[in-house]
Amino acid sequence: MFFDEVGPELYRENAFRITGLPVDATARDIRRRSEELRLKERLGVSQGSGAAVLPLSPPPDATVTDQAMQRLRDPARRLEDEFFWFWPSRDGGPDEALAALRRGDADTAERLWRESSADPATAAHNLAVLAHVRALDRAAGQEHGGGLDPDGRALWERAFAYWSRVVADPAVWTRVDTRVAQIADPRLTLETTTRMRSRLPAALLSINARLAVRAARDGRHDDAAAQVALMRRSGFATATVMDVLARAVEPETARLHSLGENAERTVDAAPDRGAEVTARFLEQAASLLGTLRVLLDEGDPAVQGAGDEIASRVLRCLVPYARATDDWQTTVGLLEQALPLAATESVRTRIEENLAAARSNLLFATCWFCRVNPTHQPSTHEQKMWGDLRTEYVGPYIRYNWQRIAIGVPRCASCAARHRRTIMAGRWVSLALLAASVLALAVLDGGLAIAVILFGACVLAWFGSRPRHGLPRGALQQVMAFDPVRERLSAGWLLGDRQGGGQV
Q: Give the full edge-to-edge strand order of the sheet including 397-409.
A: 494-495, 381-394, 397-409, 502-503
Weakest mean pLDDT among 94-103, 112-121, 137-146: 137-146
- Count the residues in the chain: 504
* pTM across the whole model: 0.74
210 pLDDT band, cuts 50/70/90, is very high
Q: Is the pLDDT of residue 6 over 70?
A: yes
Q: pLDDT at position 376, please? A: 87
Burial 433-472 (b: 16+ CB within 10 A, else e): bbebbeebbeeeeebeebbeebbebbeebbeebebebebb
d(CA 477, CA 481): 7
Q: What is the mean pLDDT of residues 259-270?
A: 96
What is the pLDDT averaged over residues 290-307?
92
Do residues 293 and 219 touch, judged by C-beta distance below 8 A?
A: no
- Give pLDDT tens digits for 442-499: 555 555 566 565 556 555 555 555 555 678 878 888 889 888 899 999 998 998 877 6
| Whether pLDDT at 144 is above 60 | no
**Does the structure show a pLDDT above 50 at 324?**
yes
Long-range (24+ apart) CB contacts under 8 A made by 172-179 are 172/121, 172/124, 172/125, 173/197, 174/121, 175/87, 175/90, 175/121, 175/122, 176/83, 179/79, 179/82
Q: How far apart are CA 87 and CA 401, in angstroms?
A: 97
User: How many whole angstroms separate alpha carbon 156 and alpha carbon 13?
Assistant: 19
Most confident of 95-99, 372-376, 455-459: 95-99
Between residues 240 and 138, the one the model is more confident about: 240
145 pLDDT more than 50: no
Cβ 207 vs Cβ 244: under 8 Å: no
Higher pLDDT among residues 190 and 342, named by residue:
342
Distance CA 280, CA 334 (A): 11
User: 117 or 107, which is more confident?
Assistant: 107
Predicted pLDDT of residue 428: 61
Q: What is the pLDDT of residue 444?
A: 56
**Percentage of residues in the chain with pLDDT exceeding 90?**
52
CA angle 284–289–291, rounded 5-degree value = 105
Q: How confident is the model at residue 279 (pLDDT cuts 50, 70, 90)?
A: very high
Query: Are 324 and 291 spatial neighbours (Cβ–Cβ below 8 Å)?
Result: no
Is residue 503 over pLDDT 60?
Answer: no
Q: Could you tell me which residues come within 8 angstroms of residue 179 by beta carbon, excluding any fewer than 6 positions away?
A: 79, 82
- What is the three-class DSSP state of 398? strand
Structure confidence at residue 1 (pLDDT): 65
Question: What does the pLDDT read at residue 364?
Answer: 84
Question: Smallest Cα–Cα separation from 310: which of 290, 328, 289, 294?
Answer: 289
At residue 170, the pLDDT reads 95
Q: Which of these, 293, 219, 284, lies nearest to 258 by C-alpha position?
A: 284
State how far the Cα of 132 lies from the Cα of 140, in Å rounded to an integer: 12
Mean pLDDT of 357-370: 87
At 384-424, the pLDDT tens digits run: 999 988 888 777 778 888 888 998 889 999 999 998 888 77
pLDDT for residue 59: 85
| Long-range contacts of residues 418-426, Cβ cutoff 8 Å, at least 24 apart | 419/369, 419/471, 419/472, 419/475, 422/465, 422/472, 422/475, 423/465, 423/467, 423/472, 425/465, 426/461, 426/462, 426/464, 426/465, 426/466, 426/472
Q: What average pLDDT does the segment 35-60 reach?
A: 73
Residues sharing a CB contact under 8 Å with residue 423, sequence separation 6 or more, in sequence order: 465, 467, 472
Output the pLDDT for position 501.
Answer: 46
pLDDT tens digits for 119-129? 899 999 999 99
Mean pLDDT over the full length of the chain? 86
If you average pLDDT over residues 17-34, what whole number do you get? 90
The predicted pLDDT at position 147 comes to 55
**Residue 146 clears pLDDT 50, i.e. is over it:** no
Give per-residue burial for 31-68: e unless 16+ CB within 10 Å, then b: eebbebbeeeeeeeeebbbeebbbbbeeebeeebbbeb
Predicted confidence at residue 476, as pLDDT, reads 87
